[in-house]
Amino acid sequence: MSLKVIPQRRNMAPIPDRIPVEETNLTTKERALLPDPNWLTEDDADAIMSMREIQKGGGVSYSLEEVLQEHGFTLERSNPARRPPAASKARRRRKA
């Protein structure tokens, strides 16, 4: 049985848990989203990067079913009753 030895970081500063916002390229809107407006954590950065990717893609997201249908495939579900209808059914108008 061998124990893993964690290597020591010699002559290096410890990894910070957060960095000052002044050292980043955040916009004012992104800074407003931070819980602490002076510091950026890794979790905050992940959320902001995700938002940037969504905006870069035009803010449009597609479901797996839409993409498969566009390329000519269908998705077989194990329980089709769980799927909500894609569009509401046309209502019949009453005849007067």
* pTM for the full predicted model: 0.48
Residue 9 scores a pLDDT above 80:
no
pLDDT at 1 (0 to 100): 52
pLDDT at 8 (0 to 100): 67
Distance CA 43, CA 18 (A): 10
Residue 6 scores a pLDDT above 90:
no
Residue 65 tokens, joined: 């079913």
Instruction: Quick: pLDDT tens for 36-50.
Output: 989 999 999 999 998
Strands 39-41 and 18-20: antiparallel
- Mean pLDDT, to the nearest integer, of 45-70? 84
The answer to whether residues 63 and 75 touch, using CB atoms and an 8 Å cutoff, is no
- 39 three-class SS: strand
Residue 80 scores a pLDDT above 80:
no
Give the DSSP H/E element, type plus range, for residue 41. strand 39-41
pLDDT at 66 (0 to 100): 85
- Mean pLDDT, to the nearest integer, of 18-29? 91
The answer to whether residues 42 and 61 touch, using CB atoms and an 8 Å cutoff, is no
